[in-house]
């Protein structure tokens, strides 16, 4: 059964021993970060701070911060189950003949059941504040000492594509400037920024934006998925939770938000208005520098009577977002393999912060195959940000970073095997020659073939023969070892 809301998810975490309530007073300014950071690094539970200093709303953090919690969030035994369900849908073709078509009906009905449903009221509007509100009434964290202020870190930011009318939901952090103004940190490649550019082209002066904080876990998770533009995250959330997301119309803007959300900020972004946002201790483990970003003006705050404030911190890896990203890696692998069936597995180690390092194992079939795969990845959605791609043969386990380092480093002649490309890079890359533009490197660490100009013999990996291993198994004890 799908979780109705954040509370049901919290109860499930608690029942599974994955959540700790913190009864003592803790300051949302820095102290909660230190708690959350230590906890995630020790493999500790999600934390629910019941008494944030000077605030009444409890603070939930690290709710997704382990693979077990990701499984509880998505209600699966392994996130691979989600991948399998996606493949099942993608492979669904209209079968021949009436009987075959009839057999399809339940599947199609199931698909229909994913579409979000508009409802006339929702708990997220139990309290409606059209004036006299203050977003800082919520326990918004200052995450790190040199942060430019307090940041809302788990917001579901809703906007509409003015050309297609399609909704988007992305997670873009928001620095709180004052009681009713925040930064809107949608990076230039993201859909919120695209909507903003299109609104500008149409000569609009304001863009409606609504922000939901705290919802059922599938809905929250859908906001970070690297989906194609114009694919409704709320539909994907419905697919993940196998039940439609209930949406309610906002009070002051022409957008809908999840009816079961804890807190909703309604408002607008003024076209052309920019303000310095940051610095912010980011998921690279470095501070992102202050930069100019649009400003979000709040026109109305709605919330539950007793809202819970959901948040996260990012910083030196691994943090909560590593586990959210690891689940994306597993869930999106089958989608990647639709385009690139030669890919056997791929992995993004925590220290690579997703965009800095991707390890890919392929079944190599023709000369230059590894380079073809690199370019395909650089041409695919948010995988375009991959700064370093290491391509290995399929016998290398890319989840085993020590095996990859050992084999890849042995297999390369650097000058011959490195491919450089120029293109868009992650906005958080502080080393690129320009913001958002720089170089990327592919390392072809596959075994080289004569058809690639390599005519020397290629040695095999050292392995003991099976019969000797077996014999030593017996001798081992006799030797007193």
Q: Which residues form the interface with ligand FMN (CB under 6 A)?
A: 153, 168, 170-173, 185-187, 190-192, 223-226, 312, 314, 321, 324, 382
1 to each of 216, 298, 475, how far by Cα in Å? 12, 35, 55
What 8-state DSSP symbol labels residue 444? E
**227/310 with CB nearer Mn ion:** 227
CB 150 within 8 A of CB 175: yes
- Tell me the C-alpha distance between 144 and 30, whole Å: 6
- Identify whether the C-beta of residue 227 lies closer than 8 Å to the C-beta of residue 279: no
CA distance 46 to 296: 30
Structure tokens at 124: 């997220």
Beta strand pairing status for 59-61 and 309-310?
parallel
Query: What minimum distance in Å lies between the beta carbon of 174 and Mn ion?
Result: 17
Phi and psi at 10, nearest 5°, equal -60, -45
Residues in the site for Mn ion, rule: CB under 5 A?
168, 191, 227
Tell me the CA end-to-end span of the chain in Å, nearest whole number. Answer: 53
| Best CA proximity match to 381, nearest among 265, 229, 248 | 229
Q: Which is nearer to ligand FMN, 283 or 297 (CB)?
A: 283
Q: Look at residue 226 and give the partner it binds from ligand FMN, Mn ion, none, a contact being a CB closer than 5 to 8 Å depending on partner kind.
A: ligand FMN
- Closest distance to ligand FMN from the beta carbon of 274 (Å): 15
Q: How far apart are CA 82 and CA 232, in angstroms?
A: 18
Residue among 168 and 175 whose Cβ is closer to Mn ion: 168
What's the rounded Cα separation, in Å, for the pair 69 and 203? 45
By a kind-dependent CB cut-off of 5 to 8 A, residue 180 interacts, out of Mn ion, ligand FMN, none, with none
3-state SS class at 110? helix
CB of 26 to Mn ion, least distance (A): 34
**Which of residues 192 and 317 has its CB atom nearest to Mn ion in the complex?**
192
Answer with the entry of ligand FMN, Mn ion, none that 187 interacts with (C-beta below 5 to 8 A by kind): ligand FMN
State in angstroms the smallest separation of the CB of 264 from ligand FMN: 18
Residue linked to tokens 């386990």: 397
Q: How far is the CB of 187 from ligand FMN (least distance, A)?
A: 3
Closer by beta carbon to ligand FMN, 185 or else 448: 185
Q: For residues 252 and 323, what is the distance between their CA atoms, to the nearest angstrom?
A: 36
330 binds, among ligand FMN, Mn ion, none (CB under 5 to 8 A by kind): none
Among ligand FMN, Mn ion, none, residue 224 binds (CB under 5-8 Å by kind): ligand FMN
Assess whether 282 carries a catalytic annotation.
yes
Between the CA of residue 274 and those of 192, 237, 291, 440, what are the distances in Å? 15, 32, 9, 30
How far apart are CB 440 and ligand FMN at their closest, in Å? 18
Do residues 153 and 141 lie in contact, with contact meaning Cβ atoms separated by under 8 Å?
yes
* CB of residue 170 to Mn ion, shortest distance in Å: 5
Nearest to 176 by CA among 148, 211, 212: 148
- Per partner kind, with CB cut-offs from 5 to 8 A, the member of Mn ion, ligand FMN, none near residue 190 is ligand FMN
- Judged by beta carbon, residue 191 or residue 260, the one nearer Mn ion is 191
- Starting at the edge strand found earlier in the chain, the sheet holding 418-424 runs 343-347, 357-362, 388-393, 437-444, 418-424
In the complex with ligand FMN, which residue's Cβ is closer, 133 or 186?
Answer: 186
Rounded distance between C-alpha atoms, residue 135 and residue 115, angstroms:
31
Q: Which of 208, 282, 417, 444 is catalytic?
A: 282
Q: Which does 61 bind (CB under 5 to 8 A by kind): Mn ion, ligand FMN, none?
A: none
Residue 468 phi, psi (nearest 5): -65, -40
- As annotated, the active-site residues are 282
């Amino acid at each position: 059964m799908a979780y109705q809301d954040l509370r049901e998810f919290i109860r499930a975490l608690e029942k599974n021993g994955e959540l700790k309530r913190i009864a003592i007073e803790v300051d949302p300014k820095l102290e909660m970060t230190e708690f959350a950071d230590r906890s995630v690094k020790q493999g500790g539970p999600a934390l629910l701070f019941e008494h944030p200093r000077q605030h009444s709303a409890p603070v939930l953090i690290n709710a997704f911060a382990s693979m077990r919690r990701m499984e509880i969030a998505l209600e699966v035994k392994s996130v691979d189950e989600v991948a399998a369900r996606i493949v099942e849908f993608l492979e669904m073709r209209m079968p021949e003949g009436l009987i075959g078509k009839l057999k399809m009906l339940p599947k199609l009905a199931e698909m229909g059941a994913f579409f979000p449903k508009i409802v006339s009221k929702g708990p997220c509007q139990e309290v409606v504040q059209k004036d006299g509100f203050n977003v800082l009434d919520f326990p918004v964290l200052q995450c790190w000492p040199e942060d430019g202020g307090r940041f809302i870190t788990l917001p579901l930011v809703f906007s509409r594509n003015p050309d297609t009318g399609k909704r988007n939901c992305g997670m873009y952090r928001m620095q709180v400037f004052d009681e009713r103004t925040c930064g809107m940190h949608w990076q230039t490649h993201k859909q919120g920024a695209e909507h903003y550019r299109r609104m500008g082209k149409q000569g609009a002066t304001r863009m409606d934006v609504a922000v939901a904080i705290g919802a059922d876990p599938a809905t929250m998770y859908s906001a970070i998925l690297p989906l194609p533009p114009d694919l409704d995250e709320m539909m994907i959330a419905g697919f993940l939770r196998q039940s439609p997301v209930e949406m309610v119309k906002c009070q002051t803007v022409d957008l809908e938000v999840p009816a079961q959300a804890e807190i909703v900020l309604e408002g607008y972004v003024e076209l052309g208005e920019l303000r310095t946002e940051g610095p912010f201790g980011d998921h690279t483990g470095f501070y992102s520098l202050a930069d100019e970003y649009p400003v979000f003006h709040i026109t109305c705050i709605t919330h539950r009577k007793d809202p819970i404030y959901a948040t996260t911190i990012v910083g030196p890896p691994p943090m909560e977002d590593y586990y959210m990203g690891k689940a994306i890696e597993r869930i999106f692998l089958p989608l990647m393999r639709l385009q690139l069936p030669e890919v056997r597995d791929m992995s993004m180690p925590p220290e690579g912060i997703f965009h800095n390092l991707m390890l890919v194992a392929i079944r190599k079939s023709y000369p230059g195959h590894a380079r073809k795969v690199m370019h395909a990845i650089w041409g695919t959605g948010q995988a375009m940000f991959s700064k370093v791609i290491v391509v290995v043969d399929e016998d290398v386990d890319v989840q085993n970073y020590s095996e990859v380092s050992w084999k890849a480093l042995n297999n390369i002649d650097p000058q011959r095997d490195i491919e450089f490309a120029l293109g868009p890079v992650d906005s958080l890359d502080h080393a690129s020659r320009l913001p958002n533009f720089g170089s990327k490197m592919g390392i072809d660490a596959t075994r080289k073939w004569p058809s690639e100009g390599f005519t020397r013999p290629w040695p095999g990996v050292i392995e003991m023969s099976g019969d000797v291993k077996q014999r030593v198994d017996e001798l081992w004890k006799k030797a007193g070892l």
